[in-house]
Chains A and B, each alone.
Chain A
């Protein structure tokens, strides 16, 4: 190996068709792509030709982590899963899903930076990885079981320390809207069916090794302390959500919920979070309670504790215990998840008898988690729930379903917000039962197509949050205006980028945000106050590029982009600055490969441009600006007729957005007319051969 630490050194490869298992040298083949999505894109570019379909044996699924996974760096528990995405419409293209939990560290401790799976087993199997001992094992006894049962059965065989990533019935049935889930609640949406198509029920990993740190111990510990000191709460919100004695600022929108008197009531004994002064690093885990954030004050009475990923002190998966649900619904009284997973059941309903934050809504969350996290159903950033509500209330469902099927659902229960309705709906999605269950499992694009509903109808309506290619927006113009719009044009699924939104939602007053913005992106004009957007400018283009590159960097290093970047902090003595060189500092110390911020950002740019190149190749066109980077009409229309770029609206001006895309393409070194990288850009980023391949096909401007 050319470096001293960080990487485990080997990539594990498995061909399920041939039953072959072998390894490759990570550094030799993938070092220039770091890990995570970098390795994933490299494999898809090199080995999965255009025209391959997601469920073909020739498609590959890459579970990859980066040099920081398993090092103990905060928020380093993410595994990137890259493959051809089955919900990407009208043509599946490359994309990635990201699961937290414990898989990433365990894979490194077993000695691997990535696991690349290809082919298709001739019967259901699961993959057992116990350090160097890797076996393809019979899964016929597990096939048909849910995620919890499969996990526990495999843990019985491999021991409780093994991390099990498995699919439920949805994945087995090749439902595109299905997940891979490890540690029973940490999921990567969209990839479950890929495993199912390979007859692969689960991958279980147990590692007894360690990750070597190249730098000296004192420097590493200093870097970790720095990272911990600038952490906020979930989503890097750096102010508390209510006034605290230590805090200069607070924001009702913050996920930093800790306060004197707020208690995890279902802990035994109950635990008070306290005020959580940011200097008390051993109390970081008390700051966040996502159950209370999403479900309201009533959730404190059910909170057991925060749970989460390896070496992450944020604990965004809140474990709740709701005793009433055991007798009422016949489900376990414990549940845990975060954000969309926590809200899975509740989000299907328009109303509840006691409101969106009442007891019934909490019970709907419990039922939803119980079913979805066992059957392995994905929510596509809650698009499936928004689709369902729209289709029911506008009468489409009644028209599309046969009378027998329509009557087989208890719509009276649904309208009343009765969580038992979920027992009728969710298993049918997982099992592809009936017209409705099958259609919802396809993902929005294919669902609309199969029912003859033009995609344009979905693109018109802001409340549906639909963006393009079968997927919703994910932090678009409501977060950072033009920057959010640009980011949402770039991927082949929802953008999953939090670099910009974690900054704009951090809770600091706009004057402080602007001061930080001027230091990071060269001008205070990079950001605006929420809903007070100003015209596009160069600093916003720089922020857009930075946001995307940091996302890819995090996805490749195994840092969590749901938490980072860490360019703001809760520390007054730092002027609320975070540390923009944190990633390069951790990377250099862990690996021994010294790179400064700009050098590491350039590696991220290589990775991001490779994603662009695969997309161009597989779409068969260089016309990305008009055919890929599209923006739905709702972005530039205001329901109340307020002019764009005025206070009180998040809606964008069409001409200004055209200008925004021009500036962004310039920053990226891409051709403005097509939105495709130029030959020079490919060369500068070390992707000359990629550029040459595309040039031969006429895909380089």
Chain B
């Protein structure tokens, strides 16, 4: 349909790339839908009756090919989001993507990644900070739900000597090691500056 198409002009290509970069600069990823809504809002009159229109997907493919800093990430359901590697790391983009999939996935993926890669347990308090921005209630609700679902049974907790909770994945860390690392992060490094 004509409404699903968008003018295939250099200015549109540049506009799309600019929107993605501007969003990345402010720490956001952008969905295809949001991108085209913005483009249409900015260039609405130009798209009317344009003869050289293409589908949004085709235009995005061209924009991505022309701008090597632009990257695509997809949710498990296949929804695409875009960011510029000039202003955002893949790690951060994926973290924001996880956020799209809900707090449980966000917490679980972050904990598993930390336990595997660094390795380290994850302080529960980090989820209150940007870009996680979860409330205390949301975090507690996540923990409760994870404890009852089989796919999250690897997510476990330890508490440090000053009472702070850390999460870790038993796929990558055993309890003793997770506890030692949590104590080091929370207490040890400050006592050994």
Contacts and interface: CB of A to CB of B under 8 A. Distances in A.
Q: Does A associate with B in a complex? A: yes
A243 B126 CA distance: 9
A389 to B, nearest CB: 12
Interface stretch (B47-55, B67-75, B84-92, B146-154): B84-92
Question: Chain A interface mostly helix, strand, loop or mixed?
Answer: loop
A243 B91 contact: yes
B185 A252 contact: yes
Interface string A398-426: 00000000000000000000000000000
B77 interface: no
Contacts of A509: 117-118
Interface in A318-356: 339-340, 343, 355-356
A647 B174 contact: yes
B118 A649 contact: no
Nearest to B83: A245
Nearest to B129: A242
Interface stretch (A111-119, A186-194, A524-532, A548-556): A524-532
B193 A294 contact: yes
A166 to B, nearest CB: 26
Contacts of A511: 117
Interface in A244-267: 244-249, 251-253, 259-261
B41 interface: no
A496 B3 CA distance: 69
Contact of B184 (A244, A261, A530): A530
- Interface residues on chain A, size class: 35 or more
A115 B184 CA distance: 42
B155 to A, nearest CB: 18
A245 B90 CA distance: 9
Given A510-B119, A531-B181, A242 B92 contact: no
B1 interface: no
B42 to A, nearest CB: 24
Contacts of B88: 245-246
Given A510-B118, A530-B184, A648-B179, A245 B87 contact: yes
B89 to A, nearest CB: 4
A242 B130 contact: yes
Contacts of B177: 531-532, 647-648
A697 interface: no
A245 B190 contact: no
Contacts of A248: 89-92
Contacts of A465: 191-192
Nearest to B166: A252
Given A243-B91, A248-B90, A531-B184, A253 B189 contact: yes
B96 to A, nearest CB: 9
Interface string B115-154: 0011110010010011110000000000000000000000
A475 B190 CA distance: 12
A259 B91 contact: no
30 contacts: A242-B130, A243-B91, A243-B130, A243-B132, A245-B87, A245-B92, A246-B87, A246-B92, A247-B91, A248-B90, A248-B91, A248-B92, A251-B118, A252-B120, A260-B27, A294-B190, A343-B193, A355-B162, A356-B162, A465-B191, A465-B192, A509-B117, A531-B180, A531-B181, A532-B177, A572-B89, A648-B177, A648-B179, A648-B180, A650-B180
Given A478-B184, A478-B192, 8 more contacts: A245-B24, A248-B89, A248-B90, A343-B193, A465-B191, A529-B118, A529-B119, A648-B179
